[in-house]
Amino acid sequence: MRIRLPKGEGAGLDAVLVNTAGGIACGDQFTVEIEAQADASVTVATPAAEKVYRSDGPVSRMSVKLHAGAGARLDWLPQETILFDSARLDRQLEADIAEDARLTLLEAVVFGREARAERMADGLFIDRWRIRRGSRLVYADTLRLDGPIADLLQKPSVGNGARALATLIHVAPDAEARLEDIREQLSSGIGCDAAASAWNGLLAVRFCAVTIEALRAAICPFLLTFRDEPLPRVWLS
């Protein structure tokens, strides 16, 4: 993996994380650790969608650890992860931030390659999130889909037919106060539903879409308004 620091249009530093292998193959293991020191402002993105190839058994693992010091702002905004049929991925995201730091996390996942009308007839996807603020756990979430993922996503209680999901978590001193404004900004367009909630000093937004195009059509304008600054350039290329 490599990191690039292009000239950005926002107020802070833009960093682009590049997987020079071109994707994640069965059994691959990646560990990424990012630290925004006191009063720093950093946005981390990826240049394209991350592809997770089919596996004949071994599980690929991705571990992301984020740290934000006093008064820092850290935005983790990778582009979507695409799971091929029979992909097996165990992903873990941990964040540890100061009481007055600001953290924005966005992760999107697509189940199957749309261009090939691919269904995930089989696979494994585990997604663990743990966020600590002032050394206190404020958010813990685990998603596990194992087996016939396409069939599981058809169930109303799971995905209601969606093939693309995204979660945004925002932790900041004013996170809960933004809830009503955020709900007014969200709109359920064709093929995409979205909802927001707030508690424990954080704001959570969930997106559920039929296609990645519908998901991005909802996420991109939302991020522009929510962050009040341009998207990373790689999102537009």
Q: What is the pLDDT of residue 190?
A: 67
In the predicted model, is pLDDT for residue 45 greater than 90? yes
pLDDT tens for 172-189 read 999 999 999 999 888 666
The domains of the chain are located at 2-236
Instruction: Please give the pLDDT value at position 185.
Output: 87
Question: pTM, whole model, 2 decimals?
Answer: 0.94
pLDDT, residue 78, reads: 97
Quick one: how many helices (H) and strands (E) in the chain?
3, 15
- Per DSSP, the residues of 158-178 read TTTT-SEEEEEEEESTTTGGG
Whether the pLDDT of residue 59 is over 90: the answer is yes
Tens digits of residue pLDDT in 86-105: 999 999 999 999 999 999 99
Q: State in Å, rounded, how far the first CA of the chain is from the last one.
A: 20
What pLDDT does residue 213 have? 93
Q: What is the mean pLDDT of residues 114-136?
A: 94
For the chain, the average pLDDT equals 94
What pLDDT does 189 receive?
63
Looking at residue 122, the DSSP 8-state letter turns out to be S
53 has a pLDDT exceeding 90: yes
